[in-house]
Amino acid sequence: MSQTLFYLIEQQANSEKAVTYLRQQTEAFQRNPQVATFYRVFTAMPRFVGKQSIDLPADMNFALKRVRSGFSVTGWTLDRLARVWWLLQLPADDKSFYVNTIGQLFKAGELNELVALYSALPVLAYPDAWLFQATEGIRNNIADVQSAIMINNPFPADYFDEASWNQMILKAFFTDKDVTQIIGLDERKNARLAQTLADYAAERRAAGRSLPANIERLT
Amino acid sequence: MDFMDSIRGMSFFDMHVHMTSRTTDDYQAMADAGVVALIEPAFWLGQPRTGVDSFRDYFASLVGWERFRASQFGIRHYCTIGLNSKEANQEELAEQVMEILPLFIYKEGVVGVGEIGFDDQTAAEDKYYRAQLDLAKEAGLPVQIHTPHRDKKQGTSRSMDIALEHGLEPGMVIVDHNNEETVREVLDRGFWAGFTIYPFTKMGNERMVDIVKQYGPERIMINSAADWGISDPLAVPKTAALMKQRGISDEAIRLVTFTNAVTAFAQSGQLSLEELIQPVGIDQSQRYNGSSILRGGQAPRVDKESTIIK
């Protein structure tokens, strides 16, 4: 995955400077793996690689999905892509070190960092360690942070239990997300969710408010 | 005459205001009065924090939730991050805060290290002020200095002496909360001079008009420093209106209420004039998706006169 993502970064127009910078930082981090360096590179990414939208050729989109089923970088900016790639440079041999190091980034994250972090969940090591964090992303009150975990992200469908899954779908309707972009929407339909959504629809009608799009698909 | 009439169409940058202490009504009023951007310096919350996690969550809210909240009203929210002088006196905690500062000062939209400097002018305050000047220098960030309420003149001189001693260019330092007694030295030494229009304890805006008349608009900028005390988040637009009424030119008003602050803090590389003249609504990273929907960067408007709440 790391190589495929880096190849995609290299393919972006005018990315020579960014690529040189990322190579230098990787070498420096491998030579002297200081956590402070890891954090600085992650945080300061937009200053060095820019924030332009990426071009995603069809063959690359296909290649990414072959490495990690359901994984998509459609609509990403270059800093987001580079941040996710950078997270993959952290050695994963020691679980508690790995989880704690990335956990600190979640704790101190600003909006765009959080988007990158939640986008990265499906490609991080130790998926079980991120389950609670993923539900925190859904509890977040900022639209793009919610979307990073809800929309075009295979992590919830792959790992959430039924209660967490249902909580996410209800929140997605509640916050006007395009639920058709949620991976596993049909596969993970269940009776309890159908009941909750039916109640929600009734509550909306009683208040004289409109129903969210596609809610009938799950009720 | 309503002060809003004379400043219609003007844009303002409040370079020091503590929005975490203010309501959405304040944001709405600021947006209506032409405030398009602001800087929220990290400060003291009115009572001391007792653990480093409180600082971490506060800093994270300045680059997260508060920035997002401002964007709902079409206002760009920047911040400066630092350990304030009062809490520098809790040395054990101060050490821990210094450790997490590098996690925050490189973040997007962090336009400086601040507000830092002196309160009681103790040895601990001196120590952490110096340490943070070094941090700012290393990160290439401007510094926003809080000058003390007591022994102000001496404290202001001393703050500038130390900044120079640590190798900072005066042009990278914004000395805030000036008054008639401090302004000359600050300008003569090449620093930026911030003025806080704050009732009873800092500057009144009639005095501010006289200062602009005497010293001209170069390197001078005004702010509200509105916070949890009796303060006015419309201090910048109101002072602009008063300046206009008392014969100060539109160009001079724009310098002290907008451009000078942009020029000073743009040295961080984290804000630019080009960015500020774009409407905030086109920034797709800051959409609102609560139970109602934000369109075009504006929060849904509540009719305050109506008794009906939908």
pLDDT digits (tens, 9 = 90+) for B228-274: 999 999 999 999 999 999 999 999 999 999 999 999 999 999 999 98
ipTM for this model: 0.79
Dihedral angle computed from the Cα positions of residues B134, B43, A139 and A133, in that order, rounded to the nearest 10 degrees: 30
pLDDT at residue A203, as a whole number: 94
Longest dimension (CA), chain B: 61
- Greater confidence, B281 or A41? A41
Q: Span B145-162, mean pLDDT?
A: 96
**Which of A142, A171, A179 is best to mutate for the B interface (most B CBs within 10 A)?**
A142
CB contact under 8 A, B291 and A113: no
For the cut 60, the answer to whether the pLDDT of residue A60 exceeds it is yes
pLDDT at residue B299, as a whole number: 57
Give exposure, B162-192, as e/b (b: 16+ Cβ within 10 Å).
Answer: bbeebebebebbbbbbbbeebbebbbeeebb
Of the CA atoms within 13 Å of residue A165, those in its CB half-sphere come to 22
Task: Using an 8 Å CB-CB cutoff, list chain B residues near A175.
Answer: 289-291
A176: left (phi over 0), alpha (psi -120 to 50) or beta: left
Pairwise CA distance, residues A161 & A135, whole Å: 11
Classify residue A38 as exposed, middle or buried by CB count within 10 Å of its CB (0-12, 13-18, 19+).
buried
Q: In chain B, what are the domains?
A: 8-286 (3.20.20.140)
Which residues touch A53 (CB under 8 Å, ≥6 apart)? A75, A76, A77, A78
Place B293 in a pLDDT band, splitting at 50, 70 and 90: very low
Q: Across chain B, what does the average pLDDT equal?
A: 91
Pairwise CA distance, residues A60 & B5, whole Å: 56
pLDDT at residue B182, as a whole number: 96
For the cut 60, the answer to whether the pLDDT of residue A155 exceeds it is yes
pLDDT at residue B95, as a whole number: 97
Classify residue A161 as exposed, middle or buried by CB count within 10 Å of its CB (0-12, 13-18, 19+).
exposed
Pairwise CA distance, residues B187 & B85, whole Å: 23
Nearest-Å Rg of the Cα atoms of chain B is 19
For B35-58, what is each residue's pLDDT tens digit? 999 999 999 999 999 999 999 999
CB contact under 8 A, A144 and B287: yes
For A167-213, what is each residue's pLDDT tens digit? 999 999 999 999 999 999 999 999 999 999 999 999 999 999 999 99
For the cut 50, the answer to whether the pLDDT of residue B295 exceeds it is no
Task: Using an 8 Å CB-CB cutoff, list chain A residues near B282.
Answer: none
Tokens of B167: 């190798």
pTM of the model: 0.87
CA nearest to A172 within chain B: B289
**Which of B138, B272, B288, B289 is best to mutate for the A interface (most A CBs within 10 A)?**
B289
Write the DSSP string, B163-206.
HHHTT--GGGEEEES--TTTHHHHHHTT-EEEEEB-TTTSB-HH
Place A113 in a pLDDT band, splitting at 50, 70 and 90: very high
Q: Span B17-45, mean pLDDT?
A: 96
Report A:90-109 residues touching B (Cβ under 8 A).
104, 107-109
Report B:23-82 residues touching A (Cβ under 8 A).
56, 59-60, 63-65, 67-68
For residue A153, the one-letter residue type is: N
For A136-154, what is each residue's pLDDT tens digit? 999 998 889 999 999 999 9
CB contact under 8 A, A43 and B293: no
Nearest-Å Rg of the Cα atoms of chain A is 19
Task: Using an 8 Å CB-CB cutoff, list chain B residues near A200.
Answer: none
Instruction: Sketch the domain layout of chain A as residue ranges.
Output: 1-125, 140-219
Task: Using an 8 Å CB-CB cutoff, list chain B residues near A176.
Answer: 289, 293
- Greater confidence, B295 or B138? B138
Tokens of B246: 């008392």
Pairwise CA distance, residues B113 & A114, whole Å: 22
CB contact under 8 A, B285 and A175: no
pLDDT at residue B224, as a whole number: 97
Tokens of B256: 């002290």
